[in-house]
Amino acid sequence: MSKRPSGTPKLSHVDDSGRVTMVDVGDKAVTAREAVARGSIRMSAEALSQIRAGHVKKGDPLQTARVAGILAAKQTSSLIPLCHPLPISSANVELIPTKTGYDIEARVRTTGQTGVEMEALMAVSVAALTIYDMVKAVDKRMVISQIRLMKKTGGKSGTFTR
């Protein structure tokens, strides 16, 4: 591996030799932390009609997506190699109806030495993918988009709000 060029910002997951490493959070303060992420899934009028009428053959995609999002938040460190396993104190996934689909919002909390941004983003992503999976027989053109961090609190870097 080559060393990073001088003058470039140091990435927290890369050591001075350019090797990927897990950040040592052992000396960081334990603080209350929260992250909120959002995304959306857009679909055809037919797919939306079937969801809202409760006629999706596989079952209720919205309730299934909520549970899938919560499970995903809890499993983030198993899926993203450099994420720390965290004691999540709360994970909530909301599905907000829109004219063309659903906006998805996840809120994740912990008290720990590192934040839960990735857990919130994972919850939104998997909730959207779950809806896609359950409705794809009706609409394979669904679009999952704009998955992003909206807010994070706690820790050394303080508060971030989009």
The answer to whether residues 113 and 26 touch, using CB atoms and an 8 Å cutoff, is: yes
Asked whether residue 1 is domain-assigned, the answer is no
Instruction: Find the domain containing 106 and state its range.
Output: 43-155
Asked whether residue 63 is domain-assigned, the answer is yes
In the annotation, is 133 catalytic? yes
Asked whether residue 162 is domain-assigned, the answer is no
* Residue spans of the chain under pLDDT 50: 1-2, 4
Asked whether residue 15 is domain-assigned, the answer is no
In this prediction, residue 92 carries a pLDDT of 98
Q: How far apart are CA 20 and CA 14, in angstroms?
A: 5
Asked whether residue 87 is domain-assigned, the answer is yes
Asked whether residue 98 is domain-assigned, the answer is yes
What are the Cα distances from residue 45, in Å, to 48, 49, 127, 128, 138?
A: 5, 6, 20, 17, 10
The arrangement of strands across the sheet holding 160-161 comes to: 88-98, 101-112, 31-42, 143-153, 160-161
In this prediction, residue 6 carries a pLDDT of 58
In this prediction, residue 7 carries a pLDDT of 58
Q: Out of 16, 27, 103, 133, which one is annotated catalytic?
A: 133
Which CATH number does the domain housing residue 136 bear? 3.30.70.640
pTM: 0.88
Asked whether residue 124 is domain-assigned, the answer is yes
In this prediction, residue 11 carries a pLDDT of 63
For residue 161, what are its two tokens? 């709000």
- Nearest 5°: the CA angle 109, 51, 42 is 70
Asked whether residue 25 is domain-assigned, the answer is no
Number of domains in the chain: 1
In this prediction, residue 4 carries a pLDDT of 46
